[in-house]
Homo-oligomer: A and B are copies of this chain.
Amino acid sequence: MNKLQTLILAAITALTAAAAPLTLTSPDGHLSLTAGEDHGVPYYTLSRDGNVVLAPSRLGFTLSDLDLASGMKVTKSTRTGHDDTWTTLWGEDETIRNHYNELAVTYRGKRGVNMTVTFRLFDDGLGFRYSIPAQKALPDIVVTDEMTEFVLPADVPAWSIPTNRTIYYENLFTCDKLSAKDTVHTPLTIEAAPDLKLAIHQAALVDYADLNLTPRAGKDGAVRLLATLTPWQDGTKVKAGASLLSPWRTVIVAHNAGELITSRLMLNLNEPCTWDDTSWIEPGRYIGIWWSIHKKKYTWEQGPKHGATTANMKRYIDFAARHGFSGVLAEGWNYGWGEGETISFTKPYPDYDIEELSRYARSKGVFIVGHTETWGKSRLLEEQMEDAFAMYERLGIKVVKTGYVGAMLNGEELQHSQFGARHYRKVLECAARHHIMIDNHEPMMPTGLQRTLPNLMTQEGVRGQEYNAWSEDGGNPPSHTATLPFTRGLAGPMDFTPAIFNYRDEVVPGTRPQSTIAKQLAEFVVLYSPLQMAADAIESYENHPALSFIESCPTTWRRTVVPNGEVGQYVTIAREARDGSGSWFIGSLTNEQARTLAVLLTFLEPDARYIATIYEDGPGADYITNPMSMAIRQVEVGYGDTLTLNLARSGGAAIRLVKCN
């Protein structure tokens, strides 16, 4: 029998001994899962090479009129397997292997209601989801609580942002013991053991509430992480209707922090795109009238310092055309920024000639990035978006940056609630009809939906560059971008907007990027976004030597590897260009500690030679005393060579490797 036949055979074997725990192993045999019920309570466990990763952890729901978390009996289980490789439209890897063994366990609970939990065990972790089919005994499913648990056998440190002290996920990730935390957002990155890193998150949140985790100290030093869904204002969590299909709950299981970054488990658990035409979706770099507003040089609203003017925008378009940026953003182009103004997504301010600018941009081979700041009034966007997106399509506006600044959507529902999920998806679908890509600010935490809806290019949901303009705490600390790739970054692309070159003209004394300039470049590689913004004003880029790296750096990749990294300390990410050139780009950065990193070049083609152009911290570079010192060297390298990088305090290196002719 070949492998496929074996898998098929496994799939048609139904277990009947429901009382004994069901087991599942990963394709490579290292991970194993058990599932079943204990005194009627559904549960699962996860182990690696015989060691407990997750102790018995509860499953199930409390529905508005039914308890599906106790009194449950396994009635059926199905095993299957899957192994194929699919191609991404854009992203960190061109092809992704989707290789897992699956166990679907069906429980029967009170009133004879059926609920199935489907487990997929990959070599790099676990995903599981709930489905409740339409059934007469349960005509309308309203989730009041999801009872899912992730039980860590010990109270270990983890990286997280809190749910209840933040909106928009714009906090600094902190590392504490699990038991010391309040409810946290996912991804939750857990330092379970020196060779065991976990990341708990979710995949394919299509029509559901966002997942949060509440730690509770359990028995024997264990810590239970309780699923805590973001509620509707009526207190319910998910209004599912006749049937329910939850997002996948995911656990990446890695030997080191770098493996968290290269796991594609979340994407594998999203559905493929079914669109006929995706040719209009194009990753790229963009610039915009943005940082200068945060720096108080311009204003969003009308007035003597208005930023989004026709003349100013033409300067930006010219710069973009000259320097290979595909898009130019203008914030504050439309009515809705001044007091008393009616928000309109089609009516430009009088000093912003959108027709002329669109013509001009097109003539230069670039496009305008549209912007729809709703101030949280998602209803307004839903009302206007059909007309607005049709207008943008006509004008060649290929990307829209959406925004939802405001505590609640329409003052009524939380942004991370099922209400929010529905809104964000509606916008994506309407945008797709008009061939518009979306950069979603103040979003739902991403869950890999870009596989299904590949016009969901990038999202905020991260404490980004703008904090380096005006935050009262000096800006993002040096550890921040050494943490994000292992935490927020695991959820998908981040519109962090890296690459500030000009640290002068502080608007809050002492607040500026807390990094060397070489680290700003490294972030352009390290912080992944298919639409990557070079955030600074064009005046700061003009004639700047470091711009040459940004101009050359792709935003979609053939392959990504992580030669080294420790959460919050340092990381090196290497990515191969997807253009067939064989070029590689490496970003390496450190927190407030200077360090020397050795990057072993075993990812290069064995028989090729490469010229490495290395942008690194220069003589005396230091993020506090001398952030602008950058050194550049070129060395010829090949497979198996080691690049030694000396990173300053909060320093970095950005490297371009081009094949020798």
Contact = CB atoms under 8 A, between A and B. Distances in A.
A543 to B, nearest CB: 4
A631 B632 contact: yes
B552 A632 contact: no
A308 interface: no
A440 to B, nearest CB: 31
Interface in A630-661: 630-636, 656, 660-661
A545 interface: yes
A597 to B, nearest CB: 16
A626 B632 CA distance: 11
Contact of A631 (B542, B551, B611, B631): B631
Contacts of A552: 542-543
A90 interface: no
Interface in A592-643: 611, 613, 615, 618-619, 626, 628-636
Contacts of A384: none
A544 interface: yes
A549 interface: yes
A372 B107 CA distance: 88
A507 interface: no
A636 B542 CA distance: 17
Contacts of A656: 543
A615 B544 CA distance: 11
A322 interface: yes
Contact of A548 (B544, B619, B660): B544
A545 B626 contact: no
A372 B660 CA distance: 34
A630 B631 contact: yes
A438 B630 CA distance: 40
A613 B548 contact: no
Chain A facing B: main interface SS:
mixed
Contacts of A611: 504
A113 interface: no
Interface in A551-593: 551-552
A81 to B, nearest CB: 45
B632 A632 contact: yes
B618 A628 contact: no
A540 to B, nearest CB: 10
A546 interface: yes
Nearest to A627: B634
Given A543-B552, A544-B613, A619 B631 contact: yes
A391 to B, nearest CB: 30
A213 B151 CA distance: 95
Nearest to A503: B634
A629 B545 CA distance: 14
A547 interface: yes
A630 B53 CA distance: 49
A89 B628 CA distance: 37
Nearest to A634: B628
A435 B656 CA distance: 44
Contacts of A631: 618-619, 629-632
A652 to B, nearest CB: 14
A546 B545 contact: yes
B628 A545 contact: no
Contacts of A632: 545-546, 618, 628-632
A660 B540 CA distance: 12
Nearest to A583: B543
Contacts of A551: 543
Nearest to A619: B631
Contacts of A547: 548
21 contacts: A322-B322, A504-B636, A505-B661, A542-B552, A543-B548, A543-B551, A543-B613, A544-B613, A545-B613, A545-B615, A545-B632, A618-B618, A618-B619, A618-B632, A628-B633, A629-B631, A629-B632, A629-B633, A630-B632, A630-B633, A632-B632
Given A545-B546, A629-B632, 8 more contacts: A543-B613, A545-B545, A545-B548, A545-B613, A547-B548, A619-B631, A619-B633, A632-B632
Interface of A: 322-323, 504-505, 542-549, 551-552, 611, 613, 615, 618-619, 626, 628-636, 656, 660-661
Q: Lowest 3 CB-CB distances: which A-B pairs, in order? A: A543-B552, A545-B545, A628-B634
